[in-house]
Structure 1
Amino acid sequence: MPGESEGAVSGAEMEELRARTVPDVVAEGLRVLFCGINPGLTTARLGHHFAHPGNRFWPVLHASGFTPRRLKPSEQGELLSYGLGITNISPRPTARADELTTEEFREGGRVLTEKVARLRPAWLAVVGVTAYRVAFGDRKARIGPQEAAIGDTRVWVLPNPSGLNAHWTLETMAEEFGRLRAAASGGPV
């Protein structure tokens, strides 16, 4: 995820990375479609979602009970066997999420809405409340389940798993992800 300290990148390498896309890991009818903000530079380099070593997505996914073991970013395709998938609000790789423009967030929200309507996951889980607020024009959104839905797809906003998000520990993130897991398994919201 962006926001991780990803080291110096030359201008030529940055241009090459910005031209790369990281394919979605999606299928129709998923239990949960996780949505990151946009690929960080490490993710763009490696071609796997949440690939920066400081990102806590994979440890939190396991700690919250979504996966029976901690997956590596290179094993992202296994998520489909658990009814899970990954996409992003914006496909453009950056060193930090704050490099995206408001227009990119809004366009990403529009494209994501179309994708969700087509794929029909039970839940859309956006990691990053600020990104969700901008992309969907909901300035009052908070972490947790949202009133808004996309068709029959419910929406949950999760904390950003970036290592720079010091407000959330691995344990408190795992608790919030676990609340979503319980709801996605038919438990109370």
Structure 2
Amino acid sequence: MRPSKSQVAAAAGCTIPDVIRDDLDVLFCGINPGLYSGATGHHFARPGNRFWPALHRAGFTPRQLDPAEQGELLEYGLGITNLVARATARADELAVAELVEGGQILAAKVARRRPRWVAVVGVTAYRTAFGRPKAAVGRQTEGLGAAGLWVLPNPSGLNAHFQLDALAAEFAALRAAAAAA
């Protein structure tokens, strides 16, 4: 069910529960929920967001899941969290301090939940949250605790730098590294 415009507008500041359990293969970490996701309660829910198609095309899931099926990710050893929990219309509404604090919260979550890999979805947010201004998309030389660390492009439809095929290729590189580890 699609939320109404008023429901989407009212979602500012809402939070979405993590899709998480201990010992995941990959924990995907978004920047923060958009208003559409806040209204639906599902990660990467806005039509046009390419997270779910890229995840499937990369071979992480046997079929393309709908955001409402996000709980099924756990069956595949996958999970989702966010650097900042509150929903906003745009990621640029987040303060630097929020992103830095989110990086600290993520590090603590990773220490507690022990995923093998963490994939931060959004290179600019990763750079800010972890103080790595020159970080690029791909495998990072440093880990996050005991977890391997990967940075993926933002799958928002607004990210014109990465079309779906290129985005899926980046997700597939992570999948190959996770399978080899």
Same fold (TM over 0.5): yes
For 1:73, give the aligned amino acid: P
Amino acid of the structure 2 residue aligned with 1:40: G
Distance 1:180 1:134 in 2: 21
Amino acid at match of 2:41: G
Residue matched to 1:185 = 179
Give the one of 88, 91, 116 matched to 2:85.
91
Secondary structure class of the residue paired with 2:143? strand
Give per-residue Cα distances to partners, 1:52-96, cap 9 Å, x unaligned: 001000000001100000000000000000000000000011010
Say if 2:13 and 2:88, in contact at 8 Å, map to a contact too.
no
Shift of 1:178: 0.2
**Moved segments of 4+, more than 4 Å:** 7-10
Instruction: Name the counterpart of 2:24.
Output: 30
Q: Which of 127, 130, 148 is the equivalent residue of 1:133?
A: 127
Range 143-152 or range 48-57, more displaced: 143-152
Number of the residue aligned with 1:101: 95
Cα RMSD over matched residues?
A: 1.7
Looking at structure 2, the residues matched to 114 and 140 of structure 1 have their Cα atoms a distance apart, in angstroms, of: 24
Residue 148 of structure 1, CA deviation: 1.4
What residue in structure 2 maps to residue 66 of structure 1?
A: 60
- 1:118 maps onto 2:112 in alignment: yes
What does the per-residue CA deviation read over 1:142-162, in whole Å, with 9 as the maximum and x for residues that have no partner?
000001112210100000000
Matches within 5 A, 1:136-147: 136-147=130-141
User: What's the CA shift for 1:101?
Assistant: 0.4
Q: In the aligned structure 2, how far is the partner of 1:95 from the partner of 1:8? A: 12
* Counterpart for residue 40 of structure 2: 46
Matched AA of 1:155:
L
Q: Distance in 1 between matches of 2:94 and 2:16?
A: 16
> Which consecutive residues of structure 2, in runs of 5 or more, have no partner in the other structure?
none
CA distance in 2, matches of 1:122, 1:33: 8
1-structure distance, mates of 2:6, 2:135? 34
1:172 has 2:166 as partner: yes
Percent of pairs with identical residues: 60
CA distance in 1, matches of 2:164, 2:87: 25
Q: Which amino acid aligns with 2:34?
A: G
Letter in 1 for 2:171: F
- Alignment-derived partner of residue 78 in structure 1: 72
Instruction: Provide structure 1 residue ranges, at least 5 long, that are not aligned to the other structure.
Output: 1-6
If the length of structure 2 is used for normalisation, what is the TM-score? Answer: 0.94
Paired residue secondary structure (1:94): coil
Question: Aligned pair count?
Answer: 179
